[in-house]
A and B are shown apart, each in its own frame.
Chain A
Amino acid sequence: MRYLPHTDEDIASMLRVVGADTLDDLFSTIPDDCRRPRDLDIPSALTEWELNDLMDALSNSVAAPPEYKLFLGAGRYDHFIPASLTHLLGRSEFVTPYTPYQPEMSQGTLQAIYEYQTLAARLLGMETSNASLYDGASALAEALLMAIRITRRKKVAVSSLIHPYYRRVVQTYLEPTGLKMVELPYLENGRTDLSRLDRIDDLAAVAVQSPNFFGCIEDLAAVGEKSREKDCLFVSSFTEPLAYGLLKNPGSQGADIACGEGQSLGIPKWFGGPGLGMFASKMKYVRSIPGRLVGKSTDKDGKNGFVLTLATREQHIRREKATSNICTNNSLCALAAAMYMASLGGTGIRELAKLNHDKSEYLKQALEEAGFKITFKSPTFNEFVVESPPNFETTYERLLEKKIVAGLPLTPYYPELTGKYLMCVTETKTKEEMDELVEELRN
């Protein structure tokens, strides 16, 4: 096996050193009744060339761009990733180290993550960002738990327009400890109904997502105001951070914590993971933040450098009193996001965000002109909900055969929205492709 460097002679000589006769002798401490009665029953080893064929076959049976045109977002977005990013990110020096526990040997990762924290904080308009969490869903759960710790209250209000899967993850995290999540309904215009908050007391946090699951841009300033009224934390969630190239960022609207999914920033869709849990907050809460933080420091000669810091929040020091149980995070994905933000620059991210918005508006308008109804009137970024004519299912199936995925049917997530589809348009879609989609839908 090419991954194992030992020759028979190496094994024999090493066994002599340790005083064992056979490799099996090394396992003498394992009681008989814990041993495998027989060999593993898994397929025998494949050569690299056989494996190539197997993996090609598996991956070829998946509908993926560019062959398929996905007008599909809902928490995973189809964005272009520059070849230079993929190339840099593939460097062994980034891919094959562990967490930078030894700063003197890890300055590359540490500076890169410090830069990620900075760019993430700037994008979200927050004072500080951590080094990453697993994904947008666990980031939201962690944010709510942090608010619960800070306020010592046991209840959170969560918009029903936060990604349905995120809300389910939050539920999983809160349930065993008796913490409560109340859902805020949505209004006819596709935004969260904040008036419900008037009837809920003792809140640790109120969480909304913007753009929300329907693609609508929430009135974050209003949420900020409401949460101050309620004296609770304002958690601003997101699934599409590219939006903040164009929209007002959560920090400027009063968010205490901004958290969400960073997959849009240079990370492949990968069937939903790994992505990037982004987590940023006000500096005053820094000691309550979950996960790793990279900070600036100096070496003993006074030279600048970076280290992991405020580790006393973390599980390896604090154990059951830690701010989170997270250890391994999504560092390489954070690095991808930093590279992506650096590649776009301030000028680029603005134009790219506009392009997403404008293309999505183009399709929205074209659909309206073709007689389709746009369900919610609030402004949107790159996703929106459209109503299908009766018997649309067959059209949807026919389009799939033409390798076009015409949005996401919303019924499984919002049973009241039968026949409504969530459409997404990113920079990867051309005008021709949108025209083709509308043409097909007309038929």
Chain B
Amino acid sequence: MAESLGTTGLILNEPLLWEKGKKGRSAFSLPRRDVESTPLDEELTGDGPDFPDLSEIDVVRHYTRLSQWNFCVDAGMYPLGSCTMKYNPKINEKYAALKGFAGAHPMLPPALSQGTLRLMFEMERLLAEITGMDAVTLQPAAGAQGELAGMLLIHAYQQSKDMDRSKIIVPDTAHGTNPASAALCGYRPVPVKSNQNGILSLEAVYEVMDEDTAGIMITNPNTLGLFEENIKAITELVHSKGGQVYCDGANMNAIMGMVHMGQTGIDVLHLNLHKTFSAPHGGGGPGSGPVCVRRHLEPFLPVPRIIEENGNFTFSEDFSDSIGKLHAFYGNFGVIIKAYSYIRAMGPQGLKKASQLAVLNANYVMEQLKGVFHLPYEKPCMHECVFSDKFQRAGKVTTLDMAKRLMDFGFHPPTIYFPLIVDGAIMIEPTETESREEIDLFIEACKTVADEAEKDPDLIRNSPQKCKVKRMDETAAARRPCLAG
């Protein structure tokens, strides 16, 4: 076996911020005081927060040391299923920081914001074409808010037709945000099981779809990494009973340039720009979750919308059926810039190639690991493949153990315990930006871990060994929450 990527090196301990510093230090160049002090009513003034005073070098060392305790895409492969941890192009960061973008004030008259408005307008058109849908809003701040937007759109549309429906169908493979978003909109999620091939059958949907059901939320490709092959028949069925079809498009990375989502019959779809379109995850966000709709839902999109008049761009509130506003302003523009730049750099061929290679990489991993881990659904996958710990469980080694052990080899673990229908799921999404060499190293590491699970289970249960901390006690943290120092 090639030398393992994972090794140990010197990192530095670093206390909590407030355990450092001395009164009177500062890391901030305070602007000159060129006006006199004006007293403020004492009734209103407080003492100010108890923050430590640090110098600039204190702050720089603090965060540099902390940063070195993190694993990240720029350091290595991060095959976290469903999260599309692809490479985040550096040039995108530069654009987001351009003075005219970073300094753009949202309340300026549109005449002074033409660049930002044009970028957003064009982005809407690009996403409409990429998905094959008719109209787009960029307001949702992340995927889950996009889902909520989708639910609100369906709700508003049906209200306009005097339809008052209380349920929504959500497959058992769905991401947790799906039922949560549906519930936020007042719908009761009705679960539907996927079939033995890991996809939805028409019959299963037929059984639950009725006149009190607003529609269905389908993730396509789904969270098992499979294309919902019956999608067209399902959408026709749901429509025939007056329902609408929501598609969770978080896995769009598998099908750009290949699938015409509009033609699959769906009515509304959200995208995650922080997955498919290369915007970085930032250790948890910010994201951007645009929503794309077919023509009949367009009147309900959030306001304000961007419109073009003779080459000038402006905001319009003139949509009386709109569901209203979702974001304090117009969406996470700073994230949208990065995704826009990515699409323009990739072009039509580049996007299609990205999807093809994402699917190639996932199938390659699946093929190479299929005897190593149990593969519950044996068929070609799309952007990710899902295994389980069935082979290892006999020796009392779980997915969690193996995930932790993978860290020692220098890889971020796959997504684990999701989707919920696979016991001990190991969900691997390599993405297209991993080279064959990296993937081979990952496969090698997985094989070694599986081998160790048999021969030296204790080693695995005691992993990770090479990280800053040993396995963390998550149960104790929840029992006695300590959330601030």
Distance A297 CA – B325 CA, assembled complex (angstroms): 39
Known: A1-B346, A6-B435, A350-B48. A58 touches B328 (CB 8 A): no
Distance A386 CA – B195 CA, assembled complex (angstroms): 66
CB distance from B71 to the nearest CB of A (A): 4
Q: Are A348 and B53 in contact (CB under 8 A)?
A: yes
Q: For the complex, is A420 an interface residue (Cβ under 8 Å from B)? A: no
Q: Sample 9 A-B pairs with CB under 8 A, ordered by A number.
A: A4-B350, A6-B435, A27-B255, A63-B112, A76-B329, A102-B71, A111-B14, A332-B282, A341-B51
Q: Known contacts A56-B98, A64-B100, A269-B106; can you find 14 more A-B pairs with CB under 8 A?
A: A14-B360, A29-B226, A59-B101, A63-B112, A76-B106, A100-B284, A128-B484, A246-B45, A252-B46, A268-B97, A269-B104, A274-B141, A346-B23, A348-B27
CB nearest neighbor in B for A273: B332
Q: Are A300 and B60 in contact (CB under 8 A)?
A: no
Q: Are B54 and A103 in contact (CB under 8 A)?
A: no
Chain A hits for B264, CB < 8 A:
34
Q: Mark A340-372, 1 if CB is under 8 A from B, else 0.
A: 011111111111111101110110000000000
Q: For the complex, is A21 an interface residue (Cβ under 8 Å from B)? A: no
Q: Are A297 and B472 in contact (CB under 8 A)?
A: yes
CB distance from B245 to the nearest CB of A (A): 13
Distance A80 CA – B97 CA, assembled complex (angstroms): 14
Distance A303 CA – B468 CA, assembled complex (angstroms): 10
Q: For the complex, is A185 an interface residue (Cβ under 8 Å from B)? A: no
Q: For the complex, is B75 an interface residue (Cβ under 8 Å from A)? A: yes
Within 8 A of A (CB), among B307-340: 323-335, 337
Q: Are A273 and B334 in contact (CB under 8 A)?
A: yes
Q: For the complex, is B376 an interface residue (Cβ under 8 Å from A)? A: no
CB distance from B385 to the nearest CB of A (A): 11
Distance A354 CA – B54 CA, assembled complex (angstroms): 20
Q: Are A327 and B280 in contact (CB under 8 A)?
A: no
Q: For the complex, is A375 an interface residue (Cβ under 8 Å from B)? A: no
Q: Are B436 and A342 in contact (CB under 8 A)?
A: no
Q: Are B40 and A357 in contact (CB under 8 A)?
A: yes
Distance A93 CA – B332 CA, assembled complex (angstroms): 22
Q: For the complex, is B72 an interface residue (Cβ under 8 Å from A)? A: yes
Q: Are A30 and B227 in contact (CB under 8 A)?
A: yes
CB distance from A46 to the nearest CB of B (A): 5
- Selected from A62, A175, A176, A297, the residue in CB contact (under 8 A) with B476 is A297
Known: A3-B89, A45-B346, A108-B66. A135 touches B472 (CB 8 A): no
Chain A interface residue number, banded: 35 or more
Chain B hits for A331, CB < 8 A:
282-286
Q: Are A272 and B327 in contact (CB under 8 A)?
A: yes
Q: Are B148 and A248 in contact (CB under 8 A)?
A: no
Q: Are B482 and A295 in contact (CB under 8 A)?
A: yes
Chain A hits for B260, CB < 8 A:
34-37
Chain A hits for B299, CB < 8 A:
none
CB nearest neighbor in B for A104: B467
Distance A297 CA – B479 CA, assembled complex (angstroms): 10
Known: A40-B352, A72-B105, A325-B184. A103 touches B472 (CB 8 A): yes
Q: 8 nearest interchain CB pairs? A: A272-B329, A45-B347, A332-B282, A331-B284, A59-B100, A64-B103, A272-B106, A274-B286
CB nearest neighbor in B for A253: B46
Q: For the complex, is A132 an interface residue (Cβ under 8 Å from B)? A: yes
CB distance from A3 to the nearest CB of B (A): 6
Q: For the complex, is A11 an interface residue (Cβ under 8 Å from B)? A: yes
- Selected from A42, A171, A261, A325, the residue in CB contact (under 8 A) with B144 is A325
CB nearest neighbor in A for B432: A4
Q: For the complex, is A182 an interface residue (Cβ under 8 Å from B)? A: no
Q: Mark B77-103, 1 if CB is under 8 A from A, else 0.
A: 010100101111101010111111111
Distance A167 CA – B41 CA, assembled complex (angstroms): 29
Q: Are B141 and A316 in contact (CB under 8 A)?
A: no
Q: For the complex, is A91 an interface residue (Cβ under 8 Å from B)? A: yes
Q: Mark A428-439, 1 if CB is under 8 A from B, else 0.
A: 101100000000
Q: Are B481 and A286 in contact (CB under 8 A)?
A: yes
Q: Are A293 and B483 in contact (CB under 8 A)?
A: yes
Distance A109 CA – B469 CA, assembled complex (angstroms): 14
Q: Mark B399-415, 1 if CB is under 8 A from A, else 0.
A: 00001100100001100
Known: A31-B232, A40-B348, A430-B34. A311 touches B478 (CB 8 A): yes
Chain B hits for A269, CB < 8 A:
102-106
The stretch that binds B, out of A119-127, A153-161, A193-201, A228-236, is: A119-127
Chain A hits for B56, CB < 8 A:
82, 84, 343
Q: For the complex, is B345 an interface residue (Cβ under 8 Å from A)? A: yes
Chain A hits for B334, CB < 8 A:
268, 270-271, 273-274
Chain B hits for A298, CB < 8 A:
472-473, 476
